[in-house]
Amino acid sequence: MQEARRDIWTPLAGVLAALTFFFGLLFVADGPGNNDPDAKVLAWYADHGHRLQQIIGVYLLAFCGLFLIWFAAGLRQRLRAAEGPGGRLSNIALAGATLCAGMLWIGAAAAVAVSGAKSVGGVAGPQTADVARFLPHVGYAAILIFAMFGAIAMIDAASIVALRTGILPRWLVWLGFVCAIVLLFGLAFLPVIAFPIWLLAASVVLFRLPAFEAEPVTVVSKPAS
């Protein structure tokens, strides 16, 4: 049996995931409006500062995905220790976080495709505003809908395990269920703030929890030949 150990990396990754998500999405989404005239849209993408801001946002969301997977792996380990053999819900939590990270990366890539192609790829840029309007909305759909559905799977699975086992405080359980409902309306943009809120709250709780025993390692001996 391995010794109990205190995990500081999981809550740290959760805090970093929350911060990089918030600022990354803020930078990526700061683009021309849907109702702006074509000339204003093209002029926005012609500005190097605007494009650089979006590219920085992409890197922040890329790091968010990494931190989220790290956080979810640590969360799964603690949930599985409480859930017991099989750990179906614990596995769902990790799978949901992985889906969320993947859709964040896909969405970020689409949302800043125009800025990245012009600044990094040397592309002359769109000649009409249609492409510059369409691609970011593909990215926003991936982030605000599909990535948030992955987050919902992670949050709901963790909340159900905590409700059954008491491994996490009851207030965090109910906060998780509320955040999961709010994230269903992520397409409206503002509701996605529930995601970093839950990450921060869960990270604080995990940091304050006592050390726990890691899963025992079973050594299987090879049969003698």
Q: For the chain, what is the domain count?
A: 1
pLDDT digits (tens, 9 = 90+) for 118-163: 777 777 766 677 777 788 889 999 999 999 999 999 999 999 999 9
Domain assignment present for 216: no
Domain assignment present for 201: yes
Domain assignment present for 175: yes
Domain assignment present for 124: yes
Chain center to CA of 45: 27
Token reading at 40: 């204003």
Domain assignment present for 222: no
Provide the 10 A C-beta neighbour count for residue 97. 27
Range of the domain at 65: 9-208
Domain assignment present for 41: yes
Token reading at 193: 């703030």
Tens of pLDDT, residue by residue, the chain (225 residues): 445 567 789 999 999 999 999 999 999 988 787 777 878 888 888 888 888 999 999 999 999 999 999 999 999 999 998 888 878 999 999 999 999 999 999 999 998 888 887 777 777 766 677 777 788 889 999 999 999 999 999 999 999 999 999 999 999 999 999 999 999 999 898 999 999 999 999 999 999 887 765 554 444 455 554
Q: What is the pTM assigned to this prediction? A: 0.87
Rounded distance, CA 161 to CA 85, Å?
13
Domain assignment present for 30: yes
Domain assignment present for 221: no
- What pLDDT does residue 218 have? 45
3 state SS of 35: coil
Token reading at 89: 């819900």
